[in-house]
A and B are shown apart, each in its own frame.
Chain A
Amino acid sequence: MLRDISTIRTFEDIRLFYFKYKDLPEFRLAGVLVVFLLGALIVWKGILPQTHDWFSVQDEIKATKERVSQLQANQSLIEGMAQSKLDKDYAVAATALPYQKDYAGMIESIDGATTVSNMERNDYSIEIGNLSTKSAQLSPQTTITVKVSLQGDAAGLQKFLSQLTKELPLSEVVSVEYTDMAVSLEVNFFYKYLSPSTKFPYTNPIQTLSPNNQKLLKDLAIWQNAQISLDAPNFLPTETATESGN
């Protein structure tokens, strides 16, 4: 039979070969083998990739469903928020922790605390530091130090320190020196640039304020004085936070 195969040249040869051997079990067996091979080829090239595709599609469906559900949740949350309250809260938070150095706010804070405590204010200096370096502009959280000299008694100093914790922008007294009515203080005022990498994908869950932060925000709003409406920052991350204004 193998010899006959090697002599096949034309279609007629194939026909003769077929009729000569078609009834042989080996010939039929070869046909069966070909069919099985064909089936295996379909499994390998067709079904396996399709199975993979199907599982990928299922994963994608699941992920998309989750995203859609999150988008719907975000939408209902956002719809329930009053724009005016959000603007107000945002302004309070941005005044408490400004996006850039708020010199006017710092001076007003010290003035406010001095007035409330009946202390007498002498000189004060502000240590600004390097404005131009990239690291200065992108530092995650920074402070600016103000050195203050005051005159008054210990009770007045206590009132001053207490009042300063309620002034915005937020500050921290890092050192106090009180000797015989003379006070010198080092106060760090906080500010924080907005990281340029901050993203706002809609599919992320939009959070709401925790009860603690709600209470803190209320306190901040109480502490905030009349200057807020004058200097409320209108900063959104479409712009890059830089020190260009200083």
Chain B
Amino acid sequence: MSSEINLLYSKKQRRKYKLSSQVRYLRLGALGFLFLVTLISMTFFLLVVASPLTSLKQEELKQNQILTQSEDKIRKQTLLILRMNDISTIVAKRSVFDQILKAFISKLPKGVRIKEFTAEKKQVTLTVQSSNSKDIEVYMDLLGQMVSAKTYLSRVFLDSIAIEVGNDKQASDFRARFIITLL
């Protein structure tokens, strides 16, 4: 077989033919790619168009319109909650001087009376008076117990004891002044 016979492909021609068949596959691939891309694009377009967003927006609008009729109720309820939260904070943080004074009075031994009571923020000054020094002593102990039991008080400091002498040269009146720190 001679290479001069014209019916046979030369080496160059064979390479060319091979390249041509590869290009055919590539062309098919390219067309497939284009088709796929178009299909995906169309799918996304349809998904966006067919989404239930419009109907949901309409539903939201409808619900809003319904609630507009109850506007007064909503405002009142919201304000009630806000107000009650504030009130709750106020009530929790208020001073309890009434309860402290009640505790002081309830523990007074017979014959002892409160002469002075001043209270501000976390400090209380208490002066008690009695004709009997023993009673004052008992009261001091009771205040000490209140500190131990952590009943309103964190610290009691005996500031002074004043003794009044009567005409008979006998001690007739005792006054104890306490400076008290509250919890």
Shortest beta-carbon distance, B125 to chain A, in Å? 9
Contact A220 B44 (CB under 8 A): no
Contact A158 B53 (CB under 8 A): no
Tell which of A51, A97, A157 touches B44, judged by Cβ atoms closer than 8 Å. A51
Stretch of A9-17, A75-83, A119-127 with 4 or more beta carbons under 8 angstroms from chain B: A75-83
Q: In whole angstroms, what is the CA distance A87 to B98 when docked?
A: 32
Shortest beta-carbon distance, A199 to chain B, in Å? 9
Chain B residues with CB under 8 A of A198: 78-79, 82
Q: In whole angstroms, what is the CA distance A236 to B71 when docked?
A: 11
Tell which of B41, B85, B113 touches A50, judged by Cβ atoms closer than 8 Å. B41
Chain A residues with CB under 8 A of B78: 198, 200, 206-207
Which chain A residue has the least Cβ–Cβ distance from B31? A35
Contact A170 B91 (CB under 8 A): yes
Interface string of A123-160 (1 = CB under 8 A from B): 00000000000000000010000000000001101100
Interface string of B80-111 (1 = CB under 8 A from A): 11111111101100110111011011000000
Which chain B residue has the least Cβ–Cβ distance from A192? B86
Shortest beta-carbon distance, A166 to chain B, in Å? 10
Tell which of A43, A53, A89 touches B80, judged by Cβ atoms closer than 8 Å. A89
Chain B CB within 8 A of A196 CB: no
Tell which of B38, B77, B91, B105 touches A206, judged by Cβ atoms closer than 8 Å. B77
Chain B residues with CB under 8 A of A60: 53
Chain A CB within 8 A of B115 CB: yes
Contact A97 B90 (CB under 8 A): yes
Q: In whole angstroms, what is the CA distance A81 to B73 when docked?
A: 8
Contact B119 A176 (CB under 8 A): yes
Chain B residues with CB under 8 A of A28: 20, 23-24, 27
Shortest beta-carbon distance, A176 to chain B, in Å? 5
Contact B86 A202 (CB under 8 A): no
Which chain B residue has the least Cβ–Cβ distance from A71? B63
Stretch of B54-62, B133-141, B146-154, B164-172 with 4 or more beta carbons under 8 angstroms from chain A: B54-62
Chain A CB within 8 A of B3 CB: no
Contact A213 B88 (CB under 8 A): yes
Which chain A residue has the least Cβ–Cβ distance from B83? A93
Contact A179 B44 (CB under 8 A): no
Which chain A residue has the least Cβ–Cβ distance from B15? A25
Shortest beta-carbon distance, B39 to chain A, in Å? 10
Contact A65 B56 (CB under 8 A): yes
Q: In whole angstroms, what is the CA distance A39 to B30 when docked?
A: 8
Contact A50 B45 (CB under 8 A): yes
Chain A CB within 8 A of B116 CB: yes
Which chain B residue has the least Cβ–Cβ distance from A64? B56
Interface string of A31-48 (1 = CB under 8 A from B): 110011011001100110
Chain A CB within 8 A of B48 CB: yes
Q: In whole angstroms, what is the CA distance A23 to B90 when docked?
A: 93
Q: In whole angstroms, what is the CA distance A93 to B88 when docked?
A: 11
Tell which of A65, A78, A161 touches B74, judged by Cβ atoms closer than 8 Å. A78
Contact B77 A81 (CB under 8 A): yes
Q: In whole angstroms, what is the CA distance A42 to B33 when docked?
A: 11
Tell which of A97, A176, A179, A237 touches B87, judged by Cβ atoms closer than 8 Å. A97
Tell which of A31, A39, A74, A237 touches B27, judged by Cβ atoms closer than 8 Å. A31
Chain B residues with CB under 8 A of A176: 97, 101, 117-120
Chain B residues with CB under 8 A of A216: 84, 87-88, 91
Tell me which residues from 163 to 206 in chain A have a Cβ below 8 Å from any Cβ of chain B: 164-165, 170, 172-180, 190, 192, 194, 198, 200, 202, 206
Shortest beta-carbon distance, A102 to chain B, in Å? 14
Q: Give the most central of B59, B63, B81: most A CB within 10 Å.
A: B63
- Additional A-B contacts beyond A173-B119, A207-B81 (12; CB < 8 A): A50-B48, A64-B53, A78-B70, A96-B87, A161-B97, A162-B98, A165-B94, A176-B101, A180-B115, A200-B71, A200-B78, A209-B80
